[in-house]
Amino acid sequence: MSNNDLHIIDFKTEQIIAVIKEQDYWDDLRKWELKNNVDQFEFTVSDGTHKAAKLMQQNMVLKRVRDGSFVSYVINESEQDSVDRSKKIYALSEHTKLRKAKVIKPQTIESYTVNKWMDFALEGTKWQRGVTEYASFRTIHIKEFTNPLDLLKTIASTFELEIRFRTEVKGSFIVGRYVDMVRKAGRDNGKEIVLGKDLQGIRRIENSQDVISALVGVGPFI
């Protein structure tokens, strides 16, 4: 498995169904911001190929990042250009789905370790606690309805740790999704990267990012 190969994963079976070699994609850009856990990936391939056809919405792209771990990205947008017959792919890190994984009610939990807090936040999701680097206890007041991703951000801030999301693969299948909380190694970077494009010919844009998968009704407590 080459460091720069991209692996296409079927979102239903979670199996690798195609590999895109480094020379077969270009204009790749990872927009990664530690402070807000923003992780976006985009790249371009030739359209009309067997592999390009598998780059459909909700399928995933597995990429090895600079620390050697793998990050799984969910394809949320594709853009086909009729002039140069290219297909541009936009994807968000799979961990963003944690925002819709479940609803966590307001409550106060006292004297939890970072491990117990992470287990609480991730319970019932596809993700599990990975590497942690803190042994003390903290109390967190959850004042509003929240979700696993936002709670993880609160936990990391409370313990002054950095979140790292990674995916493990064995053979051709995803076998684990892990959330690490480690001592801060990077600098907060709020820079926004904006790419300009000259629009020529016909482009078709598909976007599934804003599809609502869950609604929560909030009423009086009984």
Domain locations in the chain?
Answer: 98-167
DSSP state of 144: S
In this predicted model, what pLDDT tens digit does every residue of 44-98 receive, in sequence order?
A: 999 989 999 999 999 999 999 888 899 999 999 999 999 999 999 999 999 999 9
Nearest by Cα to 76 from 98, 105, 56, 95: 56
Residue that wins the pLDDT comparison between 220 and 120: 120
d(CA 26, CA 50): 17
pLDDT range class, residue 199, cuts 50, 70, 90: very low
Q: How many CB atoms lie within 10 A of CB 101?
A: 20
In this predicted model, what pLDDT tens digit does every residue of 100-114 receive, in sequence order?
A: 999 999 999 999 999
Model pLDDT, residue 186:
53
pLDDT range class, residue 193, cuts 50, 70, 90: very low
pLDDT of 42 above 60? yes
Average pLDDT over residues 3-10: 94
Residue 9, CA distances (Å) to 35, 46, 79, 173 in order: 28, 18, 19, 8
Asked whether 19 and 8 are in contact (CB, 8 A), the reply is yes
In this predicted model, what pLDDT tens digit does every residue of 116-131 receive, in sequence order?
A: 999 999 999 999 999 9
pTM of the predicted structure, to 2 decimals: 0.82
